[in-house]
Amino acid sequence: MSGVTEQQVLAALKNITDPEKGQDIVALGMVSGVTVREGHVAFAIEVDAQRGPRMEPLRKAAEKAVDALPGVLSVTAVLTAQAASRNPAPRPTHVASAGQPHDHSHAPAGGAPVKPGIPGVRAIVAVASGKGGVGKSTTAVNLAMGMVACGLKVGLLDADIYGPSIPRMLGITGKPASHDGKHLQPMSRWGVVCMSMGFLVPEDTPMIWRGPMVMSALQQMLRDVAWGELDILLVDLPPGTGDAQLTMAQQVPLAGAVIVSTPQDIALLDARKGLNMFRKVDVPVLGIIENMSYFNCPNCGHRSEIFSHGGAHKEADKLGMEFLGEIPLDIAIRETSDEGKPITATQPGSQHAELYRKIAARVWEKLGSGDGGLRPAPRILVQ
């Protein structure tokens, strides 16, 4: 069976007319972020903020039109809002910390679309990977710890709803409480506050998620959690660059994204897919972290370059991404991560902790520099 293409999707969407403007939505430039992956299609329809609530029939019609194409297995269309200039998103206002002055007070460029932030949360940054098992969650946890060590107030949202592993990696058990019956209190350990589907459902329970469920779970974890005042909220995205990840990247008001990859995956271009995904939704990629970069022998301390060294750095340069650093494949990282005792928190004097702290400081610095700070992205009105 030949797979559906982006062109076919756009051709189908040309049949959808905006009733108020009398032209098709492709010609009007309302369609963005079209992604097609093995028959799963996702795209966004941009509308003026005020029109959002009336546009649900149009969104449904667009989904239906694409769904009718041969080879399409699922379609996710989201409505995104063009920012009205009088309705700016809450802007992160970083406090100077860890030696970084932060000015996030500049306005977004040229009326670009803006998503509402989370009150009290100054910047939201995604941690993503092209595929599973590369150490994304381990890296997210240790980055969070590194940021805590830099004096930041840090939250960690485990959006990897298919395999939530953050509770185990932080060593948190129990269920989040709610003081007002509306908002969940995040769980707290090692100086970070955290929310994960894993608190609500045991890690080994197979969960079958459908697109809208994924989105409403994510929205709840973002908006119905009493995050409090945070300098940064790290979001551990599910692995991959498919429609779920794309929609998540669109729904969350991200200040930037960090991509975690192993050396061989960088070569296999998984990292490039991640980069493209964030570019599609206008989220700046702050850089790439190479995990399991080299092997530290636990007996003799010898460093083995299992994969040719320097390739990832070169590849990152080629892609125009900053190479944020390399983390070795080391048993101490695995053990501490799997025991719920993140190495950056429990062995702060170790070489690994220092590596994570350095990367954490660099990410924070980039957020303040304007590279990743406040690029606005679409605001979702209706799911």
Contact set with ligand ADP (CB under 6 A): 129, 132-138, 165, 239, 291-292, 327, 329-330, 333-334, 337-338
Residue type, position 260, single letter: V
Q: Residue 154 in 3-state DSSP?
A: strand
Would you say 198 or 376 has its CB closer to ligand ADP? 198
Would you say 82 or 137 has its CB closer to ligand ADP? 137
Nearest C-alpha neighbor of 278 from the set 323, 234, 247: 247
* Cα 279 to the center of its chain, rounded Å: 12
Task: Write down the least CB distance from residue 332 to ligand ADP, Å.
Answer: 8
Task: Write down the least CB distance from residue 98 to ligand ADP, Å.
Answer: 24
Task: Write down the least CB distance from residue 255 to ligand ADP, Å.
Answer: 21
Question: Distance between CA atoms of 133 and 141, rounded to whole angstroms?
Answer: 14
Residue 235's H or E segment, with its range, is: strand 232-236
* Cα 88 to the center of its chain, rounded Å: 22
Would you say 155 or 340 has its CB closer to ligand ADP? 340
Half-sphere exposure of 12 (CA within 13 A, CB side): 20
Task: Write down the least CB distance from residue 268 to ligand ADP, Å.
Answer: 15
Would you say 147 or 327 has its CB closer to ligand ADP? 327
Would you say 35 or 142 has its CB closer to ligand ADP? 142
Task: Write down the least CB distance from residue 302 to ligand ADP, Å.
Answer: 16
* Cα 145 to the center of its chain, rounded Å: 18
Question: Distance between CA atoms of 63 and 333, rounded to whole angstroms?
Answer: 44
> What backbone torsions phi and psi does residue 231 show, to the nearest 5 degrees?
-75, -40
- DSSP conformation letters of 7-43: HHHHHHHTT-EETTTTEETTTTT-EEEEEEETTEEEE
Sign of the alpha-carbon torsion through 159, 161, 162, 167: positive
Beta strands in 61-111 (DSSP E): 74-82
Task: Write down the least CB distance from residue 243 to ligand ADP, Å.
Answer: 19
Task: Write down the least CB distance from residue 133 to ligand ADP, Å.
Answer: 5
Would you say 18 or 295 has its CB closer to ligand ADP? 295
Chain position whose Cβ is nearest to ligand ADP: 135
Would you say 9 or 292 has its CB closer to ligand ADP? 292
